[in-house]
Amino acid sequence: MPTIRDIWVYLEQEEGQLLEVSLEMLGEARRLIDDLNKRHNQDEKVVGVVLGHNVGTLCKEAIYHGVDVVYFADDPELEHFRLEPYTKIIGDIVRQRNEYKDYDKPRYFLFPATNNGRDISATVLAELESGLASDCNELYVVDGIKYKRPSEREIRTYGKVLAMKRPDFTGFEWSTIVCLGYSPEACSIIPGSFKPLSRDEARKGKIIEHKASLDEKYYRVKIQTREKLDTGIDLSKAKVIVSFGRGIRENPELGIKLSKELAQMLNGDVGVSRGAALAPYNVEPSVKAQYLTEARQIGETGQTVAPKLYLAIGISGAIQHKKGMDKSEIIISINTDPHAPISQYSDYLLKGDLFHGVPKLLEMIKKQKENVAS
Amino acid sequence: MSLNVLLLTKQVPDFSEGMVKFKPDNTLDRASTPSTMNPNDKIAQRAALEAKVKYGATLRVMSMGPPEAEKTMREAMSMYADELYLLSDRLMRAADTLATAYTLSKAILKLGRIDLIFAGFKTQDGETGQTGPQTAWMLGIPLITHVVGYRLDTERRIIRAKRLVNGKIIEAVESPFPALLTIEAKPPYEPEYRSARERLVLKKLLAEGKRRASNVKDYLKVWSAAELDADLAKMGLDGSPTVVLKVEPIPQVKAERNCKILDGTNLEDLDQIARFIVDRLRTNKIL
């Protein structure tokens, strides 16, 4: 039997800064392991891994945020994220033994569910040949799970199993994934799911440098140029947001146009529910690229917003959507179904067809604005 | 030298509006929801077809799934393929991403020399985005994710690709063949066909694909687990570290605000809301 301990966290950094989600994962890892240690009277640690160039100072930051042991590899070749060398180095660090590590495999392994984090979680777990759940936002430990694989003769009981919960199927369901009989039990974590610990310089930890010397073949994919895009849509500071959902399905082009006009009239911006962002609506490509995009998506897997006024146009209001907008000061929704979940967290719900209601509302707001102005 | 490309695809439940069905407890009714070729794979197929149009590649399509996945093979063929491969076996059933990637990698080795493998960013059912990267890692070949465009130097056997990094940086990379690419879906990958010749070739291929799609069996090979040089214990449920412990419907949200229901067809109610909005935004100096 391999020896197994500790919770490991891949700490993603960008331009010399740990991503917020890295700190959030540390907070959750700390809580999980402290609880497990207490319940089982053991002393397992939170172990971090940071890769990059000039990342030494980040190790201290990780310690201030709750890591016990942090490994880093520092090399100009690693300045920007590169899947193959990063994967190989993490695999090497996990397998090596040193003055701290005297066991075979990590118990758990957390990665951020960013694009890079998802990619590397997949390759690292292929390298370590264990299981991975993606895009999780709730973790807890369970004992006594019974399971039998088809080829096994007897039912086995598994303990200290990490239950990894994720919103699934475009937000229709919650799935809880477990990894049984393989280590590490790994998952990627949706940014914003957990609270980081407050920074505390009194926290102590161990820093271990990993001197990477990799075969040339891991550097086969060469980066030629990098160019920053400026297409990011930041709705987090918008004072007014008009979001539309799948209620626009009968005439998506018109639904988007009305939402846009309403937003313009109120000096606001346009958001979209996940359902609508992913819907295969037949609209002009430029409209699609600008509005039916995850870049404008509000909710658990999109942006979290808190405007003064949030208008939900044809949004039924799944819990994922709620998590992205329920801090809005005033929420007004327009929906044909007055009992839609969105009614549970709206201040006002206009019952009716948005294609009739919104044009009337536009007219009346226009009139009001003129009145007030005069 | 000839160029061999492969598209990986999966048959998934169709979650588009009006297609998806639910059980009484609000969880998905997979049995009653019709299946379709994974939408992101259709986008990846555009990129794979681009290699056929511009560089004369041989285009193969591979999927793992039940015999009914022939429907997806037909969908893929309707966009054109030279050959279709379906990995289908009870032993492959209920595989997680690790077991799927293992099975795919073994089947890919059986195909002989493949220069470029195309995969969609993620499937609509599992939404993990893991299978493509894990397949590349098991094959030990370079992996380029979130590809938004590429050019090939078929003489030197090199790909130059542009990829979208965390949605905000375009990174130009260069890699030798063979490589696996996952194709960006947001915004959806769109090949550029500038010359009339390319557009004509594409048109002919699409017409030929439509024709072939009605006799899809003539172009389809079905491989069982025993036909792959693979460890059967690493496939299907046996080879899957992860297990779905439970599936729950999304819980109903408790009322948090005292919602006032107004009639959206009543002009007085609409006027009340319009006044409220304008007053509120004026107070906050937004209007």
Show pLDDT as tens, one digit a residue, over chain A (374 residues). Answer: 889 999 999 999 988 899 999 999 999 999 999 999 999 999 999 999 999 999 989 999 999 999 999 999 999 999 999 999 999 999 999 999 998 999 999 999 999 999 999 999 999 999 999 999 999 999 999 999 999 999 999 999 999 999 999 987 656 678 999 999 999 999 999 988 899 999 999 999 999 999 988 899 999 999 999 998 765 688 988 999 999 999 999 999 999 999 999 999 999 999 999 889 888 888 888 888 889 888 899 987 788 899 999 999 999 988 878 888 998 999 999 999 999 999 999 999 999 999 999 999 999 999 998 886 65
Interchain CB distance below 8 Å, B169 and A345: no
Asked if pLDDT for residue B17 goes beyond 70, the answer is no
Residue of A nearest to B238 (CA): A149
- The distance from CA B263 to its chain's CA centroid, rounded to whole angstroms, is 43
Query: Considering CB atoms only, which of B130, B257, B271 is closest to A345?
Result: B257
pTM: 0.80
Q: Is B264 an interface residue toward A (CB < 8 Å)?
A: yes
Chain A residues inside the 8 Å CB shell of B33? none
Q: Is B286 an interface residue toward A (CB < 8 Å)?
A: yes
Residue of B nearest to A142 (CA): B245
Question: Each residue of B20-74: pLDDT tens digit?
Answer: 777 776 666 777 788 899 989 999 999 999 999 999 999 999 999 999 998 999 9
Interchain CB distance below 8 Å, B275 and A180: no
Residues 69 through 108 of chain B touching chain A, CB cutoff 8 Å: 96-98, 101
Residue of A nearest to B234 (CA): A129
Query: Considering CB atoms only, which of B173, B244, B275 is closest to A223?
Result: B173
Tally of CA atoms within 13 A in the half-sphere of A329 that contains its CB: 11
B16 confidence band (pLDDT: 50, 70, 90): low
Please determine, for the modelled complex, whether the ipTM score is greater than 0.90: no
Interchain CB distance below 8 Å, B242 and A177: yes
Minimal CA separation from B53 to chain A, in Å = 23
Number of Cβ pairs < 8 A linking chain A and chain B: 297
| Chain length of chain A | 374
3-state DSSP assignment of residue B149: strand
3-state DSSP assignment of residue A83: helix
3-state DSSP assignment of residue B120: strand
Residue (of B10, B110, B108, B112) closest to B63 by Cα position = B10
**For position B250, what pLDDT does the model report?**
66
Residue of B nearest to A116 (CA): B166
Query: Considering CB atoms only, which of A115, A121, A133 is closest to B167?
Result: A115
Minimal CA separation from B233 to chain A, in Å = 8
CA angle B44, B124, B204 (to 5 degrees): 30
Interchain CB distance below 8 Å, B252 and A344: yes
Interchain CB distance below 8 Å, B278 and A369: yes
Residue of B nearest to A344 (CA): B255
Residues 243 through 262 of chain B touching chain A, CB cutoff 8 Å: 243-262
**For position A75, what pLDDT does the model report?**
94
B251 confidence band (pLDDT: 50, 70, 90): low
Across chain B, how many H-helices and E-strands are there?
Answer: 6, 13
Q: Which parts of chain A fold into alpha helices (H)?
A: 20-40, 56-64, 83-95, 115-128, 252-265, 274-278, 285-291, 319-325, 354-373
- The distance from CA B210 to its chain's CA centroid, rounded to whole angstroms, is 21
Question: Each residue of B226-249: pLDDT tens digit?
Answer: 999 999 999 999 999 999 998 887
Chain B residues inside the 8 Å CB shell of A223? 171-173
Mutate to test the interface with B, among A119, A251, A326, A367 (most CBs of B within 10 A): A119
Asked if pLDDT for residue B188 goes beyond 70, the answer is yes
Residue A314 sits at φ, ψ, to 5 deg, of 65, 35
Between CA A230 and CA B102 the distance in angstroms is: 38
B252 confidence band (pLDDT: 50, 70, 90): low
Whether A11 contacts A46, CB under 8 Å: no
Query: Considering CB atoms only, which of B15, B246, B273 is closest to A176?
Result: B246
Interchain CB distance below 8 Å, B270 and A319: no
